[in-house]
């Protein structure tokens, strides 16, 4: 287990001939952006590269260039010599690709989560980076990778989604500068915004109505939480993967400091998203439940016994007592 700087990472990656690049389950824009931009950069240097994610890609993101080239996990897949894991704080985040985290595979971790557990042989973790897409931009720049419009657009995607289109606290002068550089290279910000913000299935809106029905507040409105069940997703024919944003809606309420939203995706299993507004570190709560993330945006998998509502109430009371 080694922690290295950016220059060293670039030296190491330059000397690799073939590699699998793997992103996390329940992929977001940053994860998809990072897998593809690193893969394209290394491919252009003549290396054998394949990008993988052990999960369905959200439908809207499939509309962006090259996204359909990301492969899923397949039984019998050949063991790689090198594995680069992006945007993952712990090995369970890569789903079944975890089986390649072993002594005879060179595992390189590129991440920006403060909760990273350094599970690679080589780890580059910058908790001050807005996104892994920002780190990949720096790596590609140091490797003199030539950007076309497609690559620039894909690189900007991860930056935009992880900064909430430049509204979260991880928005820095540097990331605005990088975004400007990407736009100069042809990044299509309008296309990304259209795909992410103007492309909602109407069922998604109806699901928000259900989520509003389930919405509860505790601690004088400082905590807001809600959930949707697998049945809800089935009713409106929206995959759990294609529904997001509701946790941000809860955080946006004026009294709220912490927002929690749970989406059930399997029997007795839900993905829980946590957000905070000013001071509360939600990553501590996520870590307690076996997840991770950032101080203002974290998540974990909740396995519960009876009802999701009851399980959430227990967690909400715990958080509420801390507020």
> Which chain residues interact with ligand AMP by CB under 6 A?
26, 89, 93, 273, 291-294, 297-301
| Smallest separation, CB 88 to ligand AMP (Å) | 7
Q: How far apart are CA 154 and CA 67, in angstroms?
A: 9
Helix boundaries (H) for 16-107 = 29-44
- Cβ 309 to Mn ion shortest distance, Å: 27
Residue 80's binding partner among ligand AMP, Mn ion, none (Cβ under 5 to 8 angstroms by kind) is none
> Residue 67 or residue 223: which is nearer to Mn ion going by CB?
67
Give the span between the Cα atoms of 61 and 53, in whole angstroms.
Answer: 13
Residues 6+ apart with CB under 8 A from 124: 3, 4, 5, 6, 9, 108, 109, 110, 111, 135
Tokens representing 252 are 């946006």
Q: Which residue, 52 or 300, is less far from ligand AMP as judged by CB?
A: 300
Nearer to ligand AMP, 80 or 299 (CB): 299
87: contact with Mn ion by CB under 5 A: yes
> Any contact of residue 111 with Mn ion (CB under 5 A)?
no
Nearer to ligand AMP, 93 or 251 (CB): 93
Q: Residue 87 CB, nearest distance to Mn ion (Å)?
A: 4
Is 229 in contact with 271 (CB distance < 8 Å)? Answer: no
**CB of 235: closest distance to Mn ion in angstroms?**
28
Closer CB to ligand AMP, residue 10 or residue 260? 260
With beta carbons less than 8 A apart as the criterion, state whether 311 and 305 touch.
Answer: yes
Picking from 89, 192, 173, the residue whose alpha carbon sits closest to that of residue 132 is 89
* Residues making contact with Mn ion (CB under 5 A): 28, 30-31, 87, 131, 162
């Amino acid at each position: 287990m080694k922690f290295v700087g950016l220059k060293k990472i670039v030296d190491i990656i330059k000397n690799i001939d073939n590699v699998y690049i793997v992103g996390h389950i329940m992929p977001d824009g940053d994860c998809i952006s990072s897998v593809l931009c690193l893969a394209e950069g290394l491919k252009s240097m003549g290396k054998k590269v394949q990008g993988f994610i052990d999960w369905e890609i959200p439908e809207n993101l499939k509309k962006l260039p090259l996204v359909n080239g990301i492969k899923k996990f397949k039984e019998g897949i050949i063991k790689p010599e090198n594995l680069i894991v992006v945007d993952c704080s712990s090995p369970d985040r890569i789903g079944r690709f975890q089986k390649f985290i072993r002594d005879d595979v060179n595992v390189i971790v590129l991440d920006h989560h403060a909760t990273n557990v350094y599970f690679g042989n080589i780890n580059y973790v910058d908790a001050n980076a807005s996104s892994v897409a920002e780190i990949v931009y720096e790596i590609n720049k140091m490797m003199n990778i030539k950007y076309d419009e497609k690559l620039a657009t894909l690189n900007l995607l991860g930056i935009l989604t992880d900064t909430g289109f430049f509204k979260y606290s991880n928005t820095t002068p540097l990331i605005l500068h990088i975004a400007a550089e990407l736009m100069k290279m042809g990044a299509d910000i309008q296309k990304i915004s259209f795909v992410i913000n103007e492309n909602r299935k109407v069922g998604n809106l109806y699901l928000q109505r259900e989520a509003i029905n389930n919405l509860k507040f505790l601690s004088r409105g400082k905590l807001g939480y809600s959930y949707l069940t697998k049945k809800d997703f089935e009713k409106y024919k929206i995959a759990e993967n294609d529904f997001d944003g509701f946790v941000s809606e809860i955080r946006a309420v004026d009294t709220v400091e912490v927002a929690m939203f749970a989406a059930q995706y399997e029997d007795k299993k839900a993905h829980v998203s946590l957000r905070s507004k000013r001071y509360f570190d939600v990553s501590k709560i996520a870590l307690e439940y076996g997840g991770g993330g950032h101080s203002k945006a974290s998540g974990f998998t909740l396995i519960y016994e009876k009802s999701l509502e009851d399980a959430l109430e227990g967690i909400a009371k715990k958080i509420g007592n801390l507020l």
